[in-house]
Structure 1
Amino acid sequence: MKILVTGYTGQLGYDVVHEGRRLGLEMVGVGSKDLNITDEVAVNRYVTTVHPDSIIHCAAYTAVDKAEDEKETCWNVNVNGTKHLANAAKEIGAKFMLISTDYVFDGNGEFPLVEMDCPHPLGYYGLTKYEAEQIVQKLLENWFIVRISWIFGVNGKNFVRTMLHLSETRSELNIVGDQVGSPTSTKDLSQLLISMIQTNKYGIYHATNEGFCSWREFAEEIFRLADKKVKVNSITSEQYAARAIRPKNSLMSKQKLVDNGFKPLPHWKDSLKRYLESLTLEVK
């Protein structure tokens, strides 16, 4: 199987390509410098030339706060880029997987969200990802939409690396405590995505590591495992005052994965421990 992966220079795309290669699959990773997905002609030419059996679309405009001001850029990448790739996939008969986000939901309520819950994005980034989901469902028959959250991986910036960096100069931090979700290892997630794309079990899925926590609890576990003496104070979303509103409840049920025979991802604390160990080896 030949699999084209967009967003190869990002956290998830990088791990998806390397996981596929580890399993002996023919992986083609492409980044923004290699292909401008907002250029319909370029996308058609590239996809037709590569002619993959499947496309895993990880590339996205993910600057959540900047998206509120850079709306045209965000729309072009997340909506038009997805449309161009989906049309190209349809033309050659390739399976298509869109990586989406918990930000398509408004985060109201206390219970884990299921795949068929009605999206209601609070910010522009979430809106564009929901629009991309609708485009994929409208244009294609053989599609997967996988909603993920709070990812961390070896290739790029993330919350874990930011906390470790801040711990070098700070002994006390204020971290949001009223947003709850599931930290997710891109290494674990990439294994699931590669497994999924080789099946015909199409549809919308929620895919995160097991377990839930707040950003404050996530930070505390990072510092505990890394043996960093940092006091973490809990603040509200309103006190943090970000440009874009985030959903407070990003709990997502993964029961559909189990029902379709996919193995649940490990608990986020286990994955975080392995990730920190890999960073230690990276430094050495």
Structure 2
Amino acid sequence: MKAFALYASAALTIFMAAAPAHADPESCRKVKFSDLSWTDLSLTNATASVILTALGYEPEQTILGLPVTFESLKNKDIDVFLGNWLPVQEQEFKSYVNNGDVDVITTNLTGAKFTLAVPTYVAKAGVTSYDDLSKFSDKFNSTIYGIEAGSNQPLLDMISAGRHGLKDWNVVESSEAAMLTQVDKMTKGKEWIVFLAWAPHPMNLNFDLTYLSGGDKEYGPNFGGATVRTLTRKGYRQECPNVTKFLENLHFDIDYENVGMNEIMTNSVEPIDAARKLIKQHPDMLTAWLDGVKTFDGKDGYAAAKAAVLTN
């Protein structure tokens, strides 16, 4: 009897050693993302979803507004938000971070921009800063092309205050699509135009543009420089360490997002298909994203994703 017990114990030990341990508990299999219908966020959510699916998880996206996203994180109705843009979201939502209602996992994008730009042929002619614009008022028809009303307030305040010598200038408020149509039309004729521009966005691929310096008062330093952070609901790091390790590794760059957004916006490719295409084009990024990450059942994460994404 004693010998049998020893045999059974040894067999159980061997079985337990051979059986893969789950990387995360069952409660972590479903990973819930917030989707704000922003093209950049659709791309990054899709990228995460393609990889998590290959790892054996079940990602899902829910369309929410920005304030509802923060409340949903606080209430643990969603798990992950990949679109915490700073500084634009900082003041309104900083209490969620300061009060510990959400966890900051990482900064997933640096080098984003939001400020005025001109076609590069205009920059080469002498317009490289906000202060240069007034020297060429006639060429610009004293006009700045903005986007929808409510999004151009820094420009309206700038003109009202007479900063950069632009006291009598006008801002055309329409929409992103209308502004880009105007840029396309005028650049084809080598006309002079100054407009709101940002990165990541396909405009950086479709137009040869130059961002203007000197707009720190209007949009902040570093050409309206911005970063994007990954947030999770409070305690998610402890509950789901393997998914969190993946999220910590999941860093993007401007080129990746410019190209991916162009696939979605210009070429009408579905976000999930655009993400698959880009991952195949950037196998080095997949390697970095899955460093130290397992599948849901505890196996090698990179091997599983490589088989599912890179070779299919």
Q: Could you say whether these structures have the same fold, taking a TM-score greater than 0.5 normalized by the shorter chain as the test?
A: no
Which structure is higher in RCO with an 8 Å CA cutoff and minimum separation 6? 2
Please state which structure has a larger fraction of its residues in helix.
Answer: 2
Q: TM-score with structure 1 length normalisation?
A: 0.32
Q: TM-score with structure 2 length normalisation?
A: 0.30
For the pair shown, which has the larger CA radius of gyration, 1 or 2?
2
